[in-house]
Amino acid sequence: MWRYLIPGAVFALLVAVFAVGLYRDPGYVPSPLIGKPAPQFSLPRLDDPQKTLQRSDLLGKVSLVNVWGTWCSGCRQEHDTLLTLAQDGGIPIYGINWKDDPALARQWLQQLGNPYAAVGVDEKGGTAIEWGVYGAPETFLIGPDGTVLYKHIAPMTLTVWREEFLPRITAARTGSKL
């Protein structure tokens, strides 16, 4: 009896492990920043390099930090969604323009529309390392106290917004824990 049951159980267990693994994205790396204070940064602004975008600009309200570049096709893909969110979402979106040519970035915003409350220019990628960014587009949800509440790696979609961001935003605003 056991001679057949044990190998059968081991086989079923292996099948279950592989079946779960099949539907998980091996490229996804969870961010250790979630639940921690957003990193300090200070970047020259895209529209006016004399001004800066810094961590303190994010405080006092729920905000999004979106890492993008004109070289990134996923960023082009999510751009319309960001425009919609900027119009209807009621949440400021701050951009970090990652390893990009500022002239191209300005042109991109002129042609496609500008969803950002402000964009900081991270030409060398130092700030992106502080934020643990490894693949654009990445979108962080930041609480009023500067805590990183969530990170989405991949183009933003309205589905992701509804299912992952909105519940956390409501929780952050009502002060309850999710």
φ/ψ of residue 129, rounded to 5: -65, -40
Minimum gap (Å) between residue 132 Cβ and other proteins: 4
Based on DSSP, count helices (H) and strands (E) in the chain, helices before strands: 6, 7
Gap between the Cα atoms of 44 and 8, Å rounded: 62
Residue 131: CB minimum distance to other proteins, A = 7
Six-digit token string for 88: 């209807």
Tokens of 106: 């300005």
Q: How many residues bind other proteins (CB under 8 A)?
A: 19
Reading the block at residue 93, the tokens are: 């979106």
The pattern of x and - marking residues 16 through 55 that bind other proteins according to CB under 8 A reads: ----------xx-xxxxx-----x----------------
131 binds other proteins (CB under 8 A): yes
Bond before 137 cis per omega within 30 degrees: yes
129: contact with other proteins by CB under 8 A = yes
User: Which parts of 49-88 interact with other proteins (CB under 8 A)?
Assistant: none
Shortest Cβ distance from residue 86 to other proteins (Å)?
27
In one letter, which amino acid is 169? I
Residues that bind other proteins (CB under 8 A): 26-27, 29-33, 39, 99, 124-126, 128-132, 134-135
